[in-house]
Amino acid sequence: MKNSIFAPFISLIILFSCTENKQPVDNYQLPENQPTAYANIDVDSLNEIMSALKSLYKNTVEEIKPIEGRTFENTIWPLERLSNVASKSWGVFSILANAHPDSLIRTTASQLEVELGKLSNEISLDEDIYQAYKAYSETEEAKKLSPARSKLVADQMRDYAKNGFNLSKEKRDYLKLMLDAITETGNTFQKNIAMYSDFAIFTEEEMEGTTEDFKKSHLQEDGTYKVGLSYPDFIPFMENASSDAARKELYVKFLNRAADSNLPVLATLIEQRDAMAKHLDYTTYASYELDGKMAKNPKTVWEFEFDLEKNVRPKGDADYAELVEMQKELGMSGEEVAYYNVYYLKNQLLQTSYGVDQEEVRQYFELENVKSGLFQITQKLFGLTYKEIENASVWHEDVTAYEVFEGPNYVGRFYLDLHPRENKFTHAACWPLRPSMALSSGNQTPEAALLCNFTKPTPDKPALLTHSEVETFFHEFGHVLHNILSTTELPSQSGTRVSRDFVEAPSQIFENWVWNYEALALFAKHYKTGEILPKELFDKMYAAQNLQSGLETLRQVIYGQYALTLYDGFDPDGDTTTTELFHILMERISPFSRVEGTHFEAAFGHLYGYGSSYYGYLWSLVFAQDMFSRFEKEGILNPEVGKAYRNAILSKGGSVQEMDMLKEFLGRAPNQDAFIKSIGLEL
């Protein structure tokens, strides 16, 4: 349960460390800072991890239950150790379920994810643990704790109330059944998305407009072309294929991912969460979920959403008019713009109105150069050194591993898994693999993994990224940094364990570096000639930066309001279906008409992981842009600003209130000015 320190997020990680010969799990005291032998993990290993965690849970309860004279050391620290092992265990299961090539290991890891979610619910609702925590919270020592420890206790006692400890024992037992059911349903929802596979077959004529490289990589023996639904297939096709019908065909398939299985699953998930919230005396699941976040309640979020919708609509209307005009110039039929034509029309605008050819641009973003530039920038800003680990034990041959140092001091480790393959997670995301934690021997050093799906190199051409993919790489590496630069004493406050509506800010801020020529000049080099991205081409890209930014922001508003509506009183058994609701919001907020026969929500995985909190993407972007304004003013490669940002934001994890962190770094209260400016609106 994500409201508990004992409930690891979907991406929290790792426990199984071993040499070539597996070491037994000995009293759960695995070497905290040795690399994990992922290549050696098998089904037995996974089951041993779960067995060890269950034993640790049982022993921890027995350890803290009989204590008199409670202190932080004898009551809270044992629970923090349990949280640490639970987080690391979840990491093993989650990363292997999403990225391991062996189907049996993936299946076993996925099953154990569900089992661990249920165990997490059990720990969150354990009466003995609650009584121990409550007894400690009422001691004189608890009133004199350090700020981080005090926040931990206050947050946990709030979450205990959310976990039903104001209810009778009978109602709490029923709550556990409800939470277990939600965990199972949510994991089914995510698994259906991950396992879904479909494609379209196109003729030579239907491939017109796509590049020769794209066609070559998708050509089949019979002369047709097979185009899948992963982003490296979907985006280039939608941007370049000149056939309206072909684009519509792929778009409809894309928006129907997992629709054959997930529509009833989503309805069940909404019903289960609503029933659980009401069981806890919350009016809606959104009210329950937002209790404890920065926004605090649905009313605040609705005000944020409606204000943003109103402020951005003029830019959105202007963007739509630009698409309509482009459509007329191209001689395309129809008075309205169909949503499946937006990718194509925007790309045409880039080329004709701004002189930006995406294919020309990507020649300057060879993956290894981008990675080198990302490393240079972040190492300079934060005083770090990355060293690739030779012959690292990893879950797939594509994975590379790096150790991070600050001078001679070891800081942490991260893994990069950058290319698509069958049965791998299909988007881009960071998995925190090991939380930071104070140990008697020093600190447990954090680890994280980054999964992406960038096109693989071919024998005659390296992997070339679109500028959007470069943004994605920088964004997700921001999450990596948030995790590995965490120095929190308590694992339950490590890294990205901040409020869900703030967690994107430390990653969104890093997108700004790929829009700065000083930064790009470090790595944006033509893959053949080595020529640095011409300033003239960059200026065109920069001029086009806010091309369609109004419609893009409105799209995020749609997603945010959709998720909030589903969890703030929506009845999936009512007259309006989840599909109809999405279409209603889309047509009210944006100028686009629905595309009949599509079910966007079936593959909108955030509806489980983020619940009602998708608004957090725009909410946190406001803070990200405000923080970047200091780098803009004092130097985007300024190590002093980087140090201040690292100390105020990245190192703190969730040990400090997010608003206090922002004020420390900015030297003032945050505001929306930088965000409004960033999307091309006048202040």
Q: What is the dihedral of CA 212, 218, 221, 225, to 10 degrees?
A: -90
**Residues 6 and 143 reside in one and the same domain:** yes
Q: Are 453 and 419 in contact (CB under 8 A)?
A: yes
Number of neighbouring beta carbons within 10 Å of residue 651: 18
- In angstroms, how far is the first alpha carbon of the chain from the final one? 41
Specify if 329 maps to a domain. no
484 and 404 in contact (C-beta within 8 Å)?
yes
Q: Do 480 and 621 have their domain in common? A: yes
pLDDT in tens, 243-257: 999 999 999 999 999
* Cα dihedral across residues 13, 18, 21, 25: positive or negative: negative
Task: For residues 227 and 157, state if they share a domain.
Answer: no
CB atoms within 10 A of CB 633: 10
Could you say which of 115, 305, 476, 552 is catalytic?
476
Q: Does 25 lie in the same domain as 134?
A: yes
Is position 476 annotated as part of the catalytic site? Answer: yes
pLDDT at 28 over 90: no
Residue 479 forms part of a structural domain? yes
pTM of the model: 0.83
Half-sphere exposure of 645 (CA within 13 A, CB side): 29
Q: Is the pLDDT of residue 12 over 50?
A: no
| 421 and 411 Cβ atoms separated by less than 8 Å | no
Which DSSP state fits 592?
P
Which H/E stretch holds residue 292?
none
| pLDDT of 21 above 70 | no
Out of 162, 182, 215, a domain closes at 162
Over the chain, what is the mean pLDDT? 92
Position 31 scores a pLDDT of 52
Residues 387, 393, 399, 405: what is their CA dihedral angle, to the nearest 10 degrees? -20
Enumerate residues 6+ apart whose C-beta is below 8 A from 333.
244
Cα–Cα distance for residue pair 414/386, rounded to 1 Å: 9
Query: How many structural domains is the chain composed of?
Result: 3
CA distances 48 to 11, 25, 28, 80, 147, Å, are 20, 8, 11, 21, 37
- Residue at a domain's end among 212, 238, 254: 254
- For the CA atoms of 541, 543, 545, 548, the dihedral, rounded to the nearest 10 degrees, stands at -120
The H or E element that residue 226 is part of is: strand 225-228
Give exposure, 276-291, as e/b (b: 16+ Cβ within 10 Å).
Answer: bbebbebebbbbbbbb
Given a cut of 70, whether residue 51 has pLDDT beyond it is yes
Check: CB of residue 227 under 8 Å from CB of residue 233: yes
Helix (H) or strand (E) holding 443: strand 442-444
pLDDT at 2 over 70: no
pLDDT at 608: 94
CB contact set of 439 (below 8 Å; sequence gap of 6+): 32
φ, ψ at 299 (rounded to 5°): -55, -45
> Look-up: residue for tokens 């599509």?
598
What is the pLDDT, as a whole number, of residue 121?
86
- Using pLDDT thresholds of 50, 70 and 90, give the confidence band for residue 231: confident
Q: In what order do the strands lie in the sheet with 385-388?
A: 385-388, 400-406, 409-417, 447-451, 429-434
| Residue 672 DSSP code | S
Could you report the per-residue pLDDT of 82-138, keeping only the tens digit for each? Answer: 999 999 999 999 999 999 999 999 999 999 999 999 999 899 889 999 999 999 999
Judge contact between 651 and 486, C-beta under 8 A.
yes
**Vertex 224: Cα angle to 458 and 350 (nearest 5):** 65
Q: Is residue 663 part of a domain?
A: yes
The b/e string for 584-621 (b: 16+ C-beta within 10 A; e otherwise) is ebbeebbbbeebeebbbbbbbbebbbbbbbbbbbbbbb
| Residue 95's CATH number | 1.20.1050.40
Closest CA to 228 of 198, 196, 195: 198
What CA–CA distance (Å, rounded) separates 449 from 88?
Answer: 13
pLDDT, position 32: 65
User: 626 and 500 share a domain?
Assistant: yes
Looking at the structure, do residues 413 and 531 belong to the same domain, yes or no? yes
On whether the CB atoms of residues 643 and 528 are closer than 8 A, the answer is: no
132 and 243 both lie in a single domain: no
Lowest mean pLDDT among 12-21, 310-319, 333-342, 394-403: 12-21
pLDDT at 683: 60
271, part of any domain: no
* Cβ contact 494:485 at 8 Å: no
Average pLDDT over every residue of 469-498: 97
Q: What is the spatial distance between Cα 288 and Cα 296, in angstroms, rounded to a whole number?
A: 9
Token pair in block for residue 267: 């309805």
Distance CA 483, CA 91 (A): 13
With respect to residue 189, please indicate whether it lies within any of the assigned structural domains: no
DSSP-derived pairing of the beta strands 409-417 and 400-406: antiparallel
Give dist(CA 365, CA 542) in Å, integer: 16
Same domain? 376 vs 462: yes
Q: Is residue 582 part of a domain?
A: no
- Write the burial class of residue 72 (CB in 10 Å: 0-12 exposed, 13-18 middle, 19+ buried): middle
- 113 and 207 together in one domain: no
Range of the domain at 492: 367-543+617-678
Q: Which residues contact 320 (CB under 8 A, 6 or more apart)?
A: 337, 551, 590, 591, 592
Contact 426, 230 (CB under 8 A): yes
User: Does residue 13 contact residue 94 with C-beta atoms inside 8 Å?
Assistant: yes
Domain presence at residue 282: no
Question: Do 202 and 150 fall within a single domain?
Answer: no
User: Tell me: the pLDDT tens digits for 300-328?
Assistant: 999 999 998 998 999 999 999 999 999 99
Specify the DSSP element, H or E, that contains 430. Answer: strand 429-434
- pLDDT band with cut points at 50, 70 and 90 for residue 333: confident
- Is residue 4 domain-shared with residue 143, that is, in the same domain? yes
Q: What's the CA gap between 496 and 618, in Å, rounded?
A: 17
**174 domain-assigned:** no
Structure tokens at 113: 């994810």
pLDDT tens figures, 206-229: 999 999 999 999 999 999 999 999
Provide the residue count of the chain: 683
The reply to whether 18 and 111 lie within a common domain is yes
Domain boundary among 145, 162, 179: 162
Number of helices followed by number of strands (H, E) in the chain? 26, 9
